[in-house]
Amino acid sequence: MKIFIDTANLADIEAGLKRGFARGVTTNPSLLAKEPKTSFSTHVGKILELINRYQPGIHLSIEVFSRNPAEILRQAKEFMAEFKYPSLSIKVQVGWDELEVIKELSAADISVNCTACMTVSQAIMAAQAGAKYVSLFSGRIRDGGTDETVTTVRSDMLARKVLDEKDFDPNTVIRSVRQLLDDSNLATEIIVGSIRSVVDIRDAALAGAHIITIPPKFFPDMMNHYKTDQVVQQFLADFSDWLS
Ligand code: E4P
């Protein structure tokens, strides 16, 4: 499993990259909107400066900010031309019209990270269309089963058997997508995002995610354990007693 950093915050990206465990950075428009106002190009340029300083060559995903297929294509090509970063991937939202964009970008040798995937069918169709990565949103897949703001549309999709209860278990979705990709010999990699806990990270990895993109707030907890602190303290105390 590879770890990506899911943020647009420069200090958090630097703190992660200088520790050497990450193999990529992912952003989205909401993450960028949390940062001090500047231009998109300036901010992405600063992320690239950090990547080039600490871990040159690692993955960077940036997302288009339009739902219009022609505009998505234009933005994707503009980002590739502007940033000229070989490991840049363009996040394109999953959708019926977006499939054509994914096909066209992939044919132009532009790496597509098809984002906001919630179901097996979305991820597999995006992979077949040429997406190099499919981003499955663990927390939001789970929320999809209970979110009260979408009760009507959920009931309709359940009634028409577009979905069933298995579609609200993120690890079942991840496991199924991985199995189908492997069975079809598709090289598309699964990025699991929308992480809500450290346990989600372990479970997504065991379910078959190639990559987990993780909000930086979880990194210290991933490295801490009270028994580690206890035993290290014990070693130091024992050694100090022996010296005295
Ligand atoms: C991943 O690519 C997404 O940017 C992100 O993980 C979405 O997570 P959220 O559900 O916390 O917005």
Instruction: Please state the domain extents for the chain.
Output: 2-243
Summarised one tens digit per residue, pLDDT across range 157-213 is 999 999 999 999 999 999 999 999 999 999 999 999 999 999 999 999 999 999 999
Q: Residues 67, 96: contact at Cβ < 8 Å?
A: no
| Cβ neighbourhood burial of 143 (10 Å; 0-12, 13-18, 19+) | middle
Cα 32 to the center of its chain, rounded Å: 15
Which pLDDT does position 207 carry in this prediction?
98
CA distances from 36 to 39, 64, 194 (A): 10, 19, 22
Tell me how far apart the alpha carbons of residues 146 and 214 are, in angstroms, rounded to a whole number: 23
- Which fold does the domain 2-243 belong to in CATH? TIM Barrel (3.20.20)
Q: Which of 91, 132, 161, 217 is catalytic?
A: 91
The DSSP symbol for 19 reads T
Q: What angle do CA 220, 47, 112 make, to 5 degrees?
A: 100
Tell me how far apart the alpha carbons of residues 203 and 192 are, in angstroms, rounded to a whole number: 11
In the Cβ-directed half-sphere of 188, how many Cα atoms lie within 13 Å?
31
Active site residue 132: no
* Ligand 1 binding residues, C-beta < 6 A: 6, 26, 28, 115, 135, 137, 139-140, 193-194, 213
Summarised one tens digit per residue, pLDDT across range 209-227 is 999 999 999 999 999 999 9
Residue bearing the CA closest to ligand 1, atom 4: 28
Residues whose CB is less than 8 angstroms from the CB of residue 86 and which lie 6 or more positions away in sequence, other chains included = 57
Element (H, E) at 140: helix 138-143
Which pLDDT does position 240 carry in this prediction?
97
Computed over every residue of the chain, the mean pLDDT equals: 98
Mean pLDDT calculated for residue range 75-104: 97
Task: Give the Å distance between the CA of 160 and the centre of ligand 1.
Answer: 28
Which pLDDT does position 232 carry in this prediction?
98
Mean pLDDT calculated for residue range 51-67: 97
